[in-house]
Amino acid sequence: MEKLATTANVRARMSRQKSRDTAVEVALRKALHAAGARYRIHRRPVKGVRREADIVFGPARVAVFVDGCFWHGCPEHATWPKNNAEFWRGKIEGNRRRDGDTDARLAESGWLALRVWEHEDADGAAARILAVVAARRPTGAPKPPGTPAP
């Protein structure tokens, strides 16, 4: 791979970027937990598919991915760097392709991939996730507290 033209400051800043347990991800998990939801974190929903979801609801077969606006090319907030522009465009577009492939692979196995952008309100995203999880929950499975009866 070709070496990027960059500065020591940029390299240091990029190496500090967290890939898990980000502030956005933790806020979302807190909102879900406060609503009574129980889930697993940082799991591969489907064996043989080397993609790890940030939050997994096993019985409902829902995998939640918290996507960063920069890294996943948010249509609302994405920016295209001027330095090493070709590299970054390829990297971000590659991430988008991988996200689509992940969603398709999970769907083939009966899972639903939900994507939450880092700029979304945690409480709003949690409500959206919980509605989907409740709709996909197998019959007879316990419902989280506060869930209205059908």
- Per-residue pLDDT tens digits for 44-74: 999 988 999 999 999 999 999 999 998 899 9
36 has pLDDT over 90: yes
Are 114 and 45 in contact by the 8 Å Cβ rule? The answer is no
Its sign, for the CA torsion 17, 19, 24, 27, is negative
Residue 79 has a pLDDT of 81
13 has pLDDT over 70: no
- Per-residue pLDDT tens digits for 78-119: 788 888 889 889 999 999 999 999 999 999 999 999 999 999
Q: Look at residues 59, 75, 51, 64 and name the one whose alpha carbon lies nearest to residue 24.
A: 64
Residue 81 has a pLDDT of 84
Residue 62 has a pLDDT of 98
DSSP one-letter string for 69-126:
TTTTT-TTT----STTHHHHHHHHHHHHHHHHHHHHHHHHTT-EEEEEETTS-HHHHH
Q: Look at residues 51, 135, 62, 35 and name the one whose alpha carbon lies nearest to residue 95.
A: 51
Residue 74 has a pLDDT of 92
Residue 130 has a pLDDT of 98
What Cα–Cα distance (Å) separates residue 108 from each residue in 4, 119, 145?
37, 29, 31
